[in-house]
Amino acid sequence: MPHIRVRGLPLEDLESVSDTLIETLAELTDTPNSHFTLEYQSSIYLVVGGASPAYPFIEILWFDRGSEVKAKVAQAIDDLIRPLIDAGQDITTLFRDIKGGDYFENGEHF
């Protein structure tokens, strides 16, 4: 934990920044990089009228680390992904804070 889900970005682009992404977030959160998981989700975005171009959507599931750390992580993600996308395209980062009582690993509560 933390678990990062990424959609709306080509797999090759995510792979090209994955090591840097995890190392940067590990440093910003003072968490060993081995605690991170990175998940690629293939997505098709739809709007009225059919398919729509995707935009990067990064979802982070973790134990809350406070607003200041969230802001630093969101900025680091933007800085890393911005060069990979079209100018003016949005990047969304969503944090889902998990409470300790909701987290089980190997059937055991932490």
Task: Summarize pLDDT for 7-49 with one digit per residue, the tens.
Answer: 999 999 999 999 999 999 999 999 999 999 999 999 888 888 8
Full domain range(s) for residue 70: 3-104
The tally of CA atoms less than 13 A away on the side-chain side of residue 11 is: 5
Which phi and psi (to 5°) does residue 72 adopt? -65, -40
Determine the 3-state secondary structure of 104 from DSSP.
strand
Q: Is residue 35 assigned to a domain?
A: yes
Query: What is the count of structural domains for the chain?
Result: 1
Q: Does a structural domain hold residue 65?
A: yes
With respect to residue 110, please indicate whether it lies within any of the assigned structural domains: no
CATH of the domain at 58: 3.30.429.10
Query: Left if phi > 0, otherwise alpha if psi is -120 to 50, otherwise beta: which for 32?
Result: beta
From CA 82, how far away is CA 101, in angstroms rounded?
36
Reduced to 3 states, what is the DSSP secondary structure of residue 86? coil
Q: Is 16 part of a structural domain of the chain?
A: yes
H/E segment holding residue 21? helix 11-29
Separation CA 23–CA 20 (nearest Å): 5
Q: What is the pLDDT of residues 43-68, one digit of tens each?
A: 888 888 888 888 999 999 999 999 99
